[in-house]
Amino acid sequence: MAGNGTLPGSPYSGMVYAWGQLIDHDLDKTNNDGANHIDITVPDDDQTFGPGSTITLTRAVVDPKTGTQINAVTGWLDASMAYGSDAGTAASLRDANGRMKVSAGDNLPTADGAFVAGDTRASENPDLTALQTLVVREHNRCADQLRSAHPEWSSDKVCGTARSIVTGEIQNITYSGFLPLLLGSKAPGDYHGFDKSVDPRITEEFAGSAFRFGHTIVSGEIAYFDGTGGESGNQSLADAFFRAACDVRSQRRRSRPAAAPDGRHLAKVRRAPCGPAAQLLVRPAGRPGPRGRQHPA
């Protein structure tokens, strides 16, 4: 699990894992119950965290009848990470004339120093925040065009139609670009219509294990660019974690090439400085094991 990878080079750009995280936040989210602890014990020979210390983790919220984990967001590829998974969140993000709310600089709205979107994890890292911002800007571009072409439409119709367009774009990128890049010939084929016999729910195996391969291709650094496209500096991803609202307005950025998908978690991220941020950073590597043991047989 630990290390900097074993495969030479990478076939992916840094945006591959960023897009994967964006759609992951569209598809699934497991909330902690905050009560039943399954803390991760740090090995005595660990060189980063104190011997005998723990990484705090509690059990997931589960359905009391089945014991299966409850998905806290919509399990569809429906852009809920931008629009929300409940009516209250959706309404709070809506602006006038079918548009979505933005802050200064046409960025995501903010609250308590963090960017706000349909998913609570929008400020997790700058790459994710940039894509969340792109989705909102695309919605507003579509809404403005629809309002101009159909001035008789209600605000709800403008917003709903713009959302349908944006959702279709996200689905097209995912199925036409993202999945073929990752899966090659095993990518899903052409769409032949709705099949009611298929269970569309996100499985625990997918959310808790399979799709977490993306953690192994994370790049450890984010590069900064000036107005001419020249690289002006870089920042460790660990240092940027949940700090996107501080500087995303003033810098052009992109990730370095992704790491090779080899089942190892980047040491720069796994071994972040001690403290609350470090616990958040290391959880992607440590959480699947304890969480996996919660699953019913």
Planar angle of CA 259, 229, 11, nearest 5 degrees: 20
Number of residues that make up the chain? 297
State the residue for tokens 């709705």: 194
> Which residues carry out catalysis?
25
User: Do residues 222 and 195 lie in contact, with contact meaning Cβ atoms separated by under 8 Å?
Assistant: no
Planar angle of CA 128, 12, 179, nearest 5 degrees: 75
At a CB cut-off of 8 Å and minimum separation 6, what does 220 contact?
A: 236, 237, 238, 256, 259, 266, 268, 269
The type of residue at 254 is: R
Distance separating alpha carbons of residues 24 and 101, to the nearest angstrom: 23
Planar angle of CA 161, 162, 165, nearest 5 degrees: 90
